[in-house]
Amino acid sequence: MKTAVSIPDPVFEEAERLAKRLKTSRSEIYARALEQFIGEHAPDRITDALNAVVEAVDGGSDEFVQEASRQALARTEW
């Protein structure tokens, strides 16, 4: 999606230099920066994604894993 935004000159110039150094487009630089910013301010997005993966691969209860976990926790000093 295309959009128009106002960016301070110093930020634009730094983005230009970075794009050249990384051999990528300004659009890619801005998209990656915005994605990182959103990720930092929406931590639930990562948790939701991880929960979806766990739900998708959940194979049900594994008694061996549960017992091994209990034993490991019993030996752990809190």
Q: Looking at residues 45-70, what average pLDDT do you find?
A: 83
Domain boundaries, the chain: 9-75
Q: Is 19 exposed, middle or buried (CB count within 10 Å of its CB: 0-12, 13-18, 19+)?
A: middle
The per-residue pLDDT for range 16-46, each reduced to its tens digit, is 999 999 999 999 999 999 999 988 888 787 7
Is pTM beyond 0.85 here? Answer: no
- Predicted pLDDT of residue 45: 79
Q: CB 43: neighbour CB atoms within 10 A? A: 9
